[in-house]
Chain A
Amino acid sequence: MAQPALKVMDLAASYRKNKVLYNVNFEVAAGTLTGVVGPNGAGKSTLIKTLLDLHPALTGHIEFYGLPFKKAKKKIGYVPQRGSVDWDFPTNALDVVTMGLYGNIGWLKRPSRKDKQKAYQSLEKMGMEGFADRQISELSGGQRQRVFLARALVQDADLYFMDEPLAGVDAATEKAIMRILQELKALGKTVLVVHHDLQTVEDYFDHVLLLNKTVIHHGKTENVFTSDKISETYGGNMKWITSREEGYHVVGPSNK
């Protein structure tokens, strides 16, 4: 097999003295679309933040295409949770997308016309070109998420980490985002998505990583996303709804 896009060995992290991740080991093959699934507090966001060096790791070794994070930075794109930034910040959609290029522009330089053009094209891909000049506080939740996605696209990374990009967005945005994720996959890019909606996992992802403080199961969706393995991850607190054709269908954890 070729070099994995991501290799995680014996990773552990704590958050406010609680150990939220321990003994995390997994490998992600290049060109896959992986859903990271697990109950609330399973450490999904912390996992991504720790991988990207935004949160300190207690132990562990992480390689991106065989390289340490510092050398692989340019190949990595990150879409944080929408709620992680202040949407009242005085800036517009095009500007936010342009920020994705700041790493390449270099110190003391301003974004060029070409950079702005790239950002605009990226907005177009997300169907957001009409909102380029719009103040970001005036965008809806779905539109904000599309701006974030556009910003990730403009980075032109090989490996993307997305933290709940589909949480609380409208149906049209969800469709647009999934289309882009499929496109990225077709281009040979690797995408890891923290996902909350168990119902759509099978349709959206070719690989699933079931996480609850450590990797419970990881592999191809058809092998991993099974009722017993999901129960194991969520600790048995699952609500199953029997559907006519398939026997059963996952709805979500019942302890919400």
Chain B
Amino acid sequence: MSYSAWIILTACLVGATSGLIGVFLILRKMAMMADAISHTVLLGIVIAFLITRELSGPHMLIGAIIAGLVTAFLVQWLHSLNIEQHASMGIVFTTLFAIGVILIATYVGNAHLDVKHALMGEITFIPWETMTLPFLGDVPVATAMLGFAFIIVLFFITAFYKEWKITSFDPALAASLGIPVIVMHYVFMSLVSVTTVAAFDAVGAIMVVAMLITPAAAAYLWTDKLSIMLVISGSFGIISAVLGYFIATWIDTSISGSMALATGILFIISFIFSPKHGLVSKFVKPATAKIMTQDG
């Protein structure tokens, strides 16, 4: 496959995976948590590197999952000590991120790991570093990792679809029915961490937030069904990836930046034209909307 094909495929996997996970981030009102985890994952990767001296997939994944869980746990813990939820997120993730940055600057400076790379990613370099997979041959490491993350996320979402739905909509009922709400919460945080770390090489910690939140927020405007929202959000992620790639080659700029821009464009289009919640539809048929709210 050509370099550009690998880059586009990788970008699409980022879009699809984060699109799926993003739906539940939005519905669980945890968009900020994506921001937090995307930063603290850096610390996980740095520590994994310091211990193993390797920047390979499995180590990074485990480091990231642990960092994500620690973040989720610390946020919950501070919150239980009477600190406002968003404040505790702010405190936890900036502190852990700072430790990560300091460790990079002091101990890991020479390795293939620097702050700019961590924040922005560099999808252009992805095809250079390959690994050999059975049946598939030489595959870029980042692409393989994203494919793996995509399969994991897809599996967890479809296998526990009704559990995600009920714990997102009504956690109190879920708990009273015996569904382990807290375990589901931490599993979800792990999935966010896996997605983030897999997308890390490609789009970096900052841009992955755009990929997680914006397609899902846009999809939310188009449908009233959870399953369809997942499909739309994943598709929006893929569309943004492709669109972003072409914008980037067209004006010769950063691919991850253009992908994030593309998600923004899709969101604005959705915000204006979506049939149910869009600006245009509100302007065109205010009468029917009124009847709906008065009904019953």
- Complex interface: stretch among B3-11, B57-65, B171-179, B188-196: B171-179
Assess whether A52 is interfacial by the CB under 8 Å rule. yes
Assess whether B223 is interfacial by the CB under 8 Å rule. yes
Assess whether A198 is interfacial by the CB under 8 Å rule. no
With both chains docked as a complex, state the minimum distance between the C-beta of B286 and any C-beta of chain A, in angstroms.
Answer: 15
| Main SS class of interface, B | helix
Assess the B161–A110 pair: CB atoms within 8 A. yes
Residues of A within 8 A of B (CB): 16-17, 49, 52-54, 73-74, 76-78, 80, 84-86, 89-92, 96, 99-100, 102-103, 105, 107-108, 110-111, 131, 135, 137-140, 142-143, 151, 155
With both chains docked as a complex, state the minimum distance between the C-beta of B77 and any C-beta of chain A, in angstroms.
Answer: 14
Which residues of A are found within 8 Å of B175, using beta-carbon distances? 52-54
Assess the A89–B169 pair: CB atoms within 8 A. yes
Which residues of B are found within 8 Å of A137, using beta-carbon distances? 224
Which residues of B are found within 8 Å of A92, using beta-carbon distances? 224-225
Mind listing 25 A-B residue pairs with CB under 8 Å?
Answer: A52-B175, A52-B176, A73-B177, A73-B178, A74-B178, A76-B176, A80-B172, A80-B173, A85-B170, A86-B27, A89-B168, A89-B226, A90-B27, A90-B228, A91-B165, A91-B225, A92-B225, A99-B162, A99-B173, A102-B166, A102-B177, A103-B177, A103-B179, A108-B160, A151-B173
Please, how many residues of chain B have a CB less than 8 angstroms from a CB on the other chain? 32
Assess the A102–B179 pair: CB atoms within 8 A. yes
| Main SS class of interface, A | mixed
Q: Which residue of B lies closest to A88 (CB)?
A: B220
Assess the B162–A110 pair: CB atoms within 8 A. yes
A/B pair count, beta carbons within 8 Å: 88
Which residues of B are found within 8 Å of A108, using beta-carbon distances? 159-160
Given known A76-B176, A103-B179, A105-B162, contact A140–B296 (CB-CB < 8 A): yes
When chains A and B are docked, how far (Å) is the Cα of A208 from the Cα of B248? 69
Assess whether B292 is interfacial by the CB under 8 Å rule. yes
Assess the A138–B292 pair: CB atoms within 8 A. yes
Which residues of A are found within 8 Å of B160, using beta-carbon distances? 107-108
Given contacts A54-B175, A86-B169, A102-B179, 7 further A-B contacts (CB under 8 A): A76-B176, A89-B226, A90-B226, A91-B169, A91-B224, A102-B174, A108-B159
Assess whether B163 is interfacial by the CB under 8 Å rule. yes
- Of A52, A84, A85, A90, chain B has the most CB atoms within 10 Å of the CB of A90
With both chains docked as a complex, state the minimum distance between the C-beta of A141 and any C-beta of chain B, in angstroms.
Answer: 9
When chains A and B are docked, how far (Å) is the Cα of A151 from the Cα of B166? 12
Q: Which residue of A lies closest to B82 (CB)?
A: A16
Query: Within the complex, which residue of A53, A84, A90 is in contact with B225, where a contact is CB–CB below 8 Å?
Result: A90
Assess the B296–A78 pair: CB atoms within 8 A. no
Query: Within the complex, which residue of B162, B170, B226, B228 is in contact with A80, where a contact is CB–CB below 8 Å?
Result: B170
When chains A and B are docked, how far (Å) is the Cα of A125 from the Cα of B109? 68
With both chains docked as a complex, state the minimum distance between the C-beta of A211 and any C-beta of chain B, in angstroms.
Answer: 20
Query: Within the complex, which residue of B159, B161, B170, B296 is in contact with A99, where a contact is CB–CB below 8 Å?
Result: B170
Assess the A99–B172 pair: CB atoms within 8 A. no
